[in-house]
Amino acid sequence: MLQEDHIAHTLQSHRELSFIDGFFADHPTAGLYLVGGAVRDALLARHPHEVDFDFVVTGLAAPKLEAWFRTRGAINLVGQHFGVYKFMPTGFSPEHIEFIDIALPRTEMVTQGSLGGYKDFDVQSDPNLPIEEDLARRDFTINAMAFDVRTQTLIDPFNGRTDLAQKTLRAVGDPTQRFTEDLSRILRGIRFASELDFVIEEETGQAIKTLIPKLNLQKDVEGKREYVVPRETVGMELAKALCRNPAHAIKELEAHGALQELFPEIHKKIGQTSSYLAPLQETTPGELTVVLTLLLRDLSLDNVRQTLSFTGLDTLARGSSQRTEAQIVTMLVQLLQEDTDPTSINKMRASKFEKRYFNGTGLLFLRCLEVLGHTDLKRAIETRRKQIEDRWLVDHDESIAPLLSGQDVLAKGVSAGPEIRIWLERVRDLQLDGTLMRREDALAWLATQIKLNKNPSTD
């Protein structure tokens, strides 16, 4: 199958794109071009879970474009600064597909006084602009291709297809100019190279090294200091790179000076211990929390929080696959720094063991131990955990229901307060260790202990 045929097949296989035939029938002289990542991924025969379809329409004025698409679904000009419409075809919803981007071809001129912010452009949309001029403003050659949907041909003015075949990431035109226009492209480049396992072309890489300190530039906005590249953007690009190909991402971040600029404390650690980053080469795609824990493992807990904030990694929206929970990373770093002796695991109170190792965080901690080669501690934790799971006939993802509640303790005459929690933890210890297996036994034990006036915190 020819590569162009592969792109055509991709378009035909998505029902949400059924509007294409109607568009051509109603607009015989208009052009419709698929651009961006969908073209790149189709040429690479990649099949991402979520496909972003971006189209450029030529030969049709904005009012007519908007009116026609409104008859086929919901359309809104949400990217007003860049002249981009978000289209949701009738019969579909954001729960099932991504919004389809529709835009007119456009040119961009950096505004006077720009420091490299991604909105510092004067954007001019023109339906009569050749698609090649629209592609000329894009970041990398592999993203500067268009598929002419009407003629089923690929438009590739910057040899992006050749760079795809050679697994090379190359800026469109002058790399320094391209990155200076929008500094966020620096991290996008590192992310694409990591995600696609590409090599960054020499001139492009040198421009990244030279300009990367500017990622921390700030400007005055209404009396406040703000980063030129928003921390949310930095966090998103870092998270995508470290999530999708962590081993390659770490190499690129270190090689191009990004660790020094964005993770200065880690850069110091590398200077002290040359093998500090070695464990991260053993991580796999999709385990961002583990990657960040290992990266930050020798920092103080305050520095862990500060680093996650400084890099924007703690700013991503809840529900995002790239979101980092700073609390979890900090907890994992703390567990690693405690340097627990394997022999102490069986002596640990069962309720304390459960809180540490009997949840999603516990499984992440075990993975960190595996990567770091702490096999004895990992084995000790897994052995005790399996004993408890087997005793209560539960799987890894199942919780063990407590035998008693706070109301049960109150009913025995214990006053509300911290003592309630202490009694419950004592019962939980005995439950998890198998001494108490039934609710009635737990109630009887509690009644006896209270009757004997035993102090739950010292018994």
> 357-364 — which CB contacts under 8 Å span 24+ positions?
357/381, 357/385, 358/385, 358/388, 361/328, 361/331, 361/332, 363/396, 364/289, 364/290, 364/293, 364/328, 364/332
Name the percent of the chain lying above pLDDT 70.
93
Amino acid at 83: G
What is residue 287's predicted lDDT score, i.e. its pLDDT? 94
Mean pLDDT of 20-27: 96
- The CATH fold assigned to 175-316 is cca-adding enzyme, domain 2 (1.10.3090)
Domain 3-166: top CATH class: alpha beta
* Per-residue tokens: 456: 């739950």
Which of 25-39, 307-321, 339-353, 372-386 is least confident? 307-321
State how far the alpha carbon of 299 is from the alpha carbons of 166, 302, 329, in Å: 39, 8, 12
* pLDDT (0 to 100) of residue 221: 87
Residue 45 has pLDDT above 60, yes or no: yes
Residues above pLDDT 90, as percent of the chain: 79
- pLDDT tier at 110 (50, 70, 90 boundaries)? low
CA 3 vs CA 8, 9, 44, 406: distances in Å = 9, 10, 9, 65
pLDDT in tens, 283-292: 999 999 999 9
Domain residue limits, the chain: 3-166, 175-316, 339-392, 406-451
| Confidence check: pLDDT of 179 > 60 | yes
Task: From 124, 134, 233, select the one nearest 182 (Cα to Cα).
Answer: 233
What's the rounded mean pLDDT across residues 6-11? 87
Contact 88, 100 (CB under 8 A): yes
Compute the distance between CA of residue 184 and CA of residue 188 in angstroms, rounded to an integer.
6
pLDDT at 59 over 70: yes
pLDDT higher than 60, residue 121: no
| Cα(308)–Cα(330) distance, integer angstroms | 10
Determine the pLDDT at residue 430: 97
Q: What is the CB neighbour count within 10 angstroms for residue 29?
A: 7
Backbone φ and ψ for 292, nearest 5 degrees, come out as: -70, -35
Encoded amino acid at 265, one letter: E
Q: Does the structure show a pLDDT above 80 at 107? A: no
pLDDT at 447 over 90: yes
Q: Which residue has the higher pLDDT, 399 or 453?
A: 399
pLDDT over 80 (residue 49): no
Strands 31-35 and 54-58: antiparallel
Report whether pLDDT(279) > 70: yes
Does the pLDDT value for residue 204 go beyond 90? yes
The mean pLDDT of 324-342, rounded to a whole number, is 93
Average pLDDT taken over every residue of the chain: 91
What integer pLDDT is reported at residue 113 of this predicted model? 54
pLDDT at 258: 96
Highest mean pLDDT among 120-124, 316-320, 341-345: 341-345
Residues 6 or more apart whose CB falls under 8 angstroms from that of 324 comprise 235, 239, 288, 289, 292, 308, 313, 314, 316
For position 122, what pLDDT does the model report? 58
Q: Bridge-partner residues for 57, per DSSP?
A: 32
What's the CA angle centered on 184, arms 178 and 187, to 5 degrees? 100
- Confidence at 82, pLDDT banded by 50, 70, 90: low
What average pLDDT does the segment 212-238 reach? 93
> Residue 392 half-sphere exposure, CB side, CA atoms within 13 Å?
25
Q: What is the mean pLDDT of residues 153-176?
A: 97
Rounded average pLDDT over 13-35: 95
